[in-house]
Amino acid sequence: MPELSNLEKTLGCKFKNQEILRQAMVHRSYLNEHPEFAGQHNERLEFLGDAVLEIVVTEYLFLNYPDTPEGDLTNWRASLVNAKMLYLIAMELGLEEYLYLSRGEAKDKNKKSRHYILANAVEALIGAIYIDQGLAIAKAFILDKIVVKLPEILKTQAYLDPKSRFQEQAQDKRGITPRYEIISEEGPDHAKIFTVGLYLDNEFITSGSGSSKQEAQVDAAAKGLKIFNW
């Protein structure tokens, strides 16, 4: 496990209590496997960090975009605080090598599961910075590492979910509203996988899959955006 002092250098701040920083990196699974570990897992810090992140981003958007409707601000905020964005921040900070995970969790290469663990670790890290360094430093961290992504989000319209983006582009460029049709449903009720087709009029564009019809539609729309380079 790398020294936390290296993480402090990456973050640009020296913790008064380094154990708070360590706690932010401890996944629940590690404690289940190491009952002798003196610290706690990071879920309480995650709870706190989520709230700090939300208010800092909300305040920034409210003050800097006074003429933007509430609905747009909500979408912009969601694009900054969602798990996908926080995972990207975690990778930029190199948090994965500092995580305390059980052996099973460490070996598990399930992409989705690891993404959520890392996204949650960013929220826990924000909570740790807030507790140890105060709101001003936590706010500076959020602005410098997360809110800085907003211009690119606005440029690429990444704040729109893939279904909304595909529909907007299809209507603009083709004058057609896309439709989705279920192709198949497989697996038991508690673990069903849906496959849907994406169509423009009667033209089949691509298919997507997911654990719900909505998830499958979003997957298909995301693929459609890449196919048309939209």
Write out the catalytic residue numbers.
50, 123
Instruction: Note the Cα 12 to chain centre separation in Å.
Output: 23
DSSP H or E segment with residue 52: helix 43-64
CB 86 within 8 A of CB 123: yes
Say how far apart CA 179 and CA 177 lie, in whole Å.
7
Side-by-side strand order, sheet with 193-200: 179-186, 193-200, 203-210
Say if residues 44 and 24 touch (Cβ distance below 8 Å). Answer: no
Q: What SS3 class is residue 179?
A: strand
- Token representation of residue 226: 């890449």
Identify the CA nearest to 127 among candidates 51, 59, 54: 51
Cα 222 to Cα 201: distance, rounded to the nearest angstrom: 18
Q: Dump the DSSP string for 84-147.
A: HHHHHHHHHHTGGGG-B--HHHHH---HHHHHHHHHHHHHHHHHHHHHHH-HHHHHHHHHHHTG
